[in-house]
A and B are shown apart, each in its own frame.
Chain A
């Protein structure tokens, strides 16, 4: 379908090598039909330079481990068509923004998942010994709000896209707050107040400027900005009622 873009030709990849003070190295990769950016990175690592480090697992857009900066924008590389994203047949690859670089295209995701914990992204069962499944009406407002944000794969694309994270490294982050919003709306969760308290902190949901970079780049089409707006409303409402 996209073959007119030049199957059989070559694509030039400028790939970040080293740690924070690394440099871009250039590789030429033969282009193949329907080749993804991840396919090309794998070609480089297996055929051109085995010392290249990168991260992937599922290759089908489920695991969220192959995200990188592609021509300056965060993307899941396993679902990004190389020829389509190339500019003048060139693609520049760098590790995800806003995260410390381990080596080459690999970032240290520790802080990303630590913030997941800080934002109280853990389900608290209200009835741990329940023998029956909880009944949650699919059409209820809470279920719809939770469903809207539940498909996050934790790839870190939104975190890399977020300017507030860039300006304030303590900011909890879009994915983390989106997760908190799904739990606030989970009627089975026993600690709604705890979830709200965790995000109504310095550099919490109120630090969001609603730029919507997270929503623009989320590969799953989620809307973390809307989730964060929900958290802002819920925390304000709780505070005015004296519950927070």
Chain B
């Protein structure tokens, strides 16, 4: 059973990467565009506040990053440290929830 977990984590890692790739590019392009002619909080908020599109964009970003980062971090810890087993899985899920919480709090704040 644990073996299938690894297989599904592998699939989730690849799928979240596929989602992240275009989002990161769009995010970077937006930064380059937004910074032209100076950058201010009010300018950013005027663009993002009340926008379902931006809320959806960054909401998806947060979910994909939380999944992708958690799986990657778990793999690194399993390979580089002796930490394995249930406690690591619980810690990984905890990390994922923290990223989701912080991410959605940020999304909520700007939209």
A binding-site residues for B, Cβ under 8 Å: 164, 167-168, 197, 200-204, 206-207, 232, 235-236, 239-240, 244
A232–B10 CB distance below 8 A: yes
> Of B3, B14, B80, which is within 8 A of A202 by CB?
B3
**Cβ of A42 to closest chain B Cβ, rounded Å:** 39
The A/B interface has a contact count, at CB < 8 Å, of 38
CB-nearest residue of chain A relative to B5? A202
**Cβ of B93 to closest chain A Cβ, rounded Å:** 17
- Interface size for B (C-beta < 8 A) is 14
B binding-site residues for A, Cβ under 8 Å: 2-11, 14, 78-80
A239–B8 CB distance below 8 A: yes
B10–A206 CB distance below 8 A: yes
> Of A164, A167, A168, A200, which is within 8 A of B7 by CB?
A200
B78–A200 CB distance below 8 A: no
Q: A232-B10, A239-B7, A244-B7 are in contact. Are A202 and B2 (CB under 8 A)?
A: yes
**Chain A positions within 8 Å of B8 at CB level:** 239
CB-nearest residue of chain B relative to A199? B3
> Of A164, A167, A204, A240, which is within 8 A of B6 by CB?
A204
Q: A236-B11, A239-B11 are in contact. Are A206 and B78 (CB under 8 A)?
A: no
Complex CA gap A232/B13 in Å reads: 13
**Please, could you name 21 A-B residue pairs with CB atoms under 8 Å apart, sorted by A?**
A168-B78, A197-B3, A200-B3, A200-B4, A200-B6, A200-B7, A201-B3, A202-B5, A203-B6, A204-B6, A206-B6, A206-B7, A207-B6, A232-B10, A236-B7, A236-B10, A236-B11, A239-B4, A239-B7, A240-B11, A244-B7
